[in-house]
A and B are shown apart, each in its own frame.
Chain A
Amino acid sequence: MLVYDKRKLMETDQDRIINDVTSGDYKYGFYTDIETEKIPRGLNEDTVRLISEKKEEPEWLLEFRLKSFRQWQNMKMPSWANLKIPEIDYQDIIYYAAPRQKPRVNSLDDIDPELKRTFDRLGIPLEEQKHLSGVAVDAVMDSVSVKTTFRETLAEMGIIFCSFSEAVREFPELVRRYMGSVVPYTDNFFAALNSAVFSDGSFCYVPKGIRCPMELSTYFRINSANTGQFERTLLVADEESYVSYLEGCTAPMRDENQLHAAVVEIIAEKNAEVKYSTVQNWYPGDKDGNGGIFNFVTKRGLCRGEGSKISWTQVETGSAITWKYPSCILRGDNSTGEFYSVAVTNNHQQADTGTKMIHIGRNTKSTIVSKGISAGYGQNSYRGLVKVLKNAKDARNFSQCDSLLLGDKCGAHTFPYLEVDNQSAIVEHEATTSKIGEDQIFYCNQRGISTEDAIGLIVNGYAREVINKLPMEFAVEAQKLLQISLEGSVG
């Protein structure tokens, strides 16, 4: 019965969405006028020390940051992606900005009402009693975590869910053990940068044998101008545990580009399962390609234990530039990695996104479903690596990469890479490119559905396989977003 009710809810929601969505503007583009503490622009060792000091960090973390910074100084921005990236002046960015409030928030009353209102406007409830769907939220604005809900409820089960800074203070051993174990600071340019200057993010640890009873969610908001956001998320699922984690992001509309360079690390121990879902809605820039977020993110999961599973689902509608490859290292025997992605590029947006599935253990399985949607002058690239190492006996991969084009000025590109060193591997790759047909739109028109709604319907149908993987609350938002992102793209 519950299932039926949920579906009903979904259907009415769909109606509401279709009625609701009549203007194609970015709805989260407002700016909150709140007193913010910022450090001066620019990046050098002193900046790194200052951030560490502001966060009252232990020595080992400062050392980690400094090592990372020195590493970063010797690295170059990667240029292999199919992206046109304007010159980024790393000395012109503010690396730390925090809403000024009491340093440690214990109750909701301690939070600045303006801040609370901001998250209300974004539809992110910070008040637990009002929140019926049972999602625990960690809200991050600019460089700091504002509030984590349901901490106590989760703590009773031994689940740790808090901001990264708190984790460093309260669970330093866990952080030390796992941080950098999946994405080392030497990994790439942006990971090194993040490791040097990361300010906050979320930390989650699910102990042995525990199924986390609610969705955990982090909501990232860039508010201040000229500020970069560098958050770090660390998820550890101990043996036989399960957790589903959601991530959402928005930013105000601005003419200048802003940098977002995050690192997400997931560790799944024996028979643990982690579902990580993202609805990425950073400000994409205006119709002419001015402004928007540069989104350079390193996300990687390690299926360390036998029989573990990590599943990435992403709906990418925002950002001017997206560079992102949520990946799985399948080290444990019989472990599973999944990647489900919908990436939309409209107007002048560019996305180079995909995944890496590294098969190390025996009987490891991976599934890749990538759905690119390009409209306007958007450029959408899928880049994926399936690598089967020598000892990965009986590895299996299935990849499906579809591209949908709206209009004739956009582009879709597919770059699949295969490296197979074990002959027992079975690797399948399917790819399609299609256009929304005039005849499909006319068919809808003839049934009374307007062209705009028809496109929404067709696109959501195209992306359904991925959207179905999202938790209910997010699926509805994702459908809405897809429709909004593509409005006005077919004339």
Chain B
Amino acid sequence: MLVIKNLHAAIEGKKILRGISLEVKPGEIHAIMGPNGSGKSTLAAVLAGRDLAEVTEGSVTYFGRNLLEMAPEDRSREGIFLGFQYPIEIPGVSMVNFLKTAVNEHRKYKGLEPLSASDFLRIMREKKELVDIDSKLANRSVNEGFSGGEKKKNEIFQMAMLEPKLAILDETDSGLDIDALRVVANGVNKLKRPDNSAIVITHYQRLLDYIVPDVVHVLYDGRIVKSAGKELALELEEKGYDWIKKEVDNQN
């Protein structure tokens, strides 16, 4: 589904990613962990097409197509969803209007007719129940005045509406209390299908108690320095990142 080869990227001339290679197959959940500043969010931004980061080397293919050449909105329409670490507020634009526009853009891209208002509202009701979010959120402006937890839940709700093939969740768990964390994780699990995949970027292991990854990668200094099964996350939780940093530094 997604093949990243030797990806290098810089922000304002500063090298952030220094040769990342990663393959995500349909149905897989990959966790990417790592200390602050290791490049986790930059990787998410590059995959979603945010032009803040400049790709200097390497390639990313998505279903055989060059992802880096696609416009951000086309990436979305092709099934890539980014759950934002800091969801953006858009005052005056209701969630209903925002999502309806988004869903219908996706449908247009696939050659489908736009949804009627009643169909749309029905689907929205179903998805709201699925991810267990407060129905009042939908009548408010996009993320405006939402609490940290509400914003993150709202990201999962949007994911439910857009049914992505590849979900990239950028520290969706940060700043969540345990109840909110459970809601977010449950949402992700309920939306799991055999053919869709997720990249879960997280700083802490605790999200992975709820979302069980197939592979855990450790990102450090712009490179994936270790990949292993889900038990790696537990080891990191216990021992921290220092032993990995040491391992890497010794090799250099």
**B104–A15 CB distance below 8 A:** yes
Q: Tell me which of B92, B99, B118 has the highest count of chain A C-beta atoms within 10 A of its own C-beta.
A: B92
**A443–B92 CB distance below 8 A:** no
**A460–B92 CB distance below 8 A:** yes
- Picked from B72, B98, B104, the residue with its CB within 8 Å of the CB of A445 is B72
B92 contact set on A, CB distance < 8 A: 460-465
Q: Would you list which residues of chain A between 450 and 472 have a CB under 8 Å from chain B?
A: 450-451, 453, 457-458, 460-465
State which size class the interface on B falls in: 35 or more
Residue of B nearest to A16 (CB): B114
State which size class the interface on A falls in: 20 to 34
Known: A448-B73, A450-B73. A443 touches B105 (CB 8 A): no
A8 and B116 alpha carbons, distance in the complex (Å) = 9
| Binary interface encoding of chain A residues 431-444 relative to chain B, with 1 for a CB under 8 A from any of its CBs, else 0 | 00000010110111
Known: A14-B97, A458-B93, A460-B92. A447 touches B162 (CB 8 A): yes
B117 contact set on A, CB distance < 8 A: 7-8, 11-12
| Binary interface encoding of chain A residues 160-173 relative to chain B, with 1 for a CB under 8 A from any of its CBs, else 0 | 00000000000000
- Picked from B90, B100, B116, the residue with its CB within 8 Å of the CB of A443 is B90
Q: Would you list which residues of chain B between 77 and 117 have a CB under 8 Å from chain A?
A: 77, 81-82, 84, 87-93, 97-102, 104-106, 108-109, 114, 116-117
B90 contact set on A, CB distance < 8 A: 440, 443-444, 457-458, 461
CB distance from B24 to the nearest CB of A (A): 18
A18 within 8 A of B: yes
A107 within 8 A of B: no
A129 within 8 A of B: no
Known: A8-B118, A18-B101. A448 touches B77 (CB 8 A): yes
Residue of A nearest to B102 (CB): A447
A446 within 8 A of B: yes
| Binary interface encoding of chain A residues 401-431 relative to chain B, with 1 for a CB under 8 A from any of its CBs, else 0 | 0000000000000000000000000000000
Known: A12-B117, A443-B84, A446-B76. A457 touches B97 (CB 8 A): yes
A12 contact set on B, CB distance < 8 A: 116-117
B141 within 8 A of A: yes
CB distance from A370 to the nearest CB of B (A): 15
A449 within 8 A of B: yes
A445 and B106 alpha carbons, distance in the complex (Å) = 11
B108 contact set on A, CB distance < 8 A: 19
Residue of B nearest to A402 (CB): B91
B50 within 8 A of A: yes
A442 contact set on B, CB distance < 8 A: 50, 72, 88
A439 and B50 alpha carbons, distance in the complex (Å) = 9
CB distance from A13 to the nearest CB of B (A): 11
B100 contact set on A, CB distance < 8 A: 11, 15
A449 and B109 alpha carbons, distance in the complex (Å) = 11
- Which 9 A-B pairs rank lowest in CB-CB distance, beginning with the nearest? A461-B92, A461-B93, A445-B72, A448-B76, A447-B102, A443-B88, A464-B92, A448-B105, A11-B117
Q: Which residue numbers of B lie inside 8 Å of A, CB to CB?
A: 48-50, 71-73, 75-77, 81-82, 84, 87-93, 97-102, 104-106, 108-109, 114, 116-118, 141-142, 158, 162
17 more A-B residue pairs beyond the given contacts A444-B102, A445-B49, with a C-beta to C-beta distance below 8 A: A15-B100, A18-B101, A440-B89, A440-B90, A443-B84, A446-B76, A447-B76, A447-B162, A448-B76, A448-B105, A448-B106, A448-B162, A457-B93, A461-B91, A461-B92, A462-B91, A463-B92
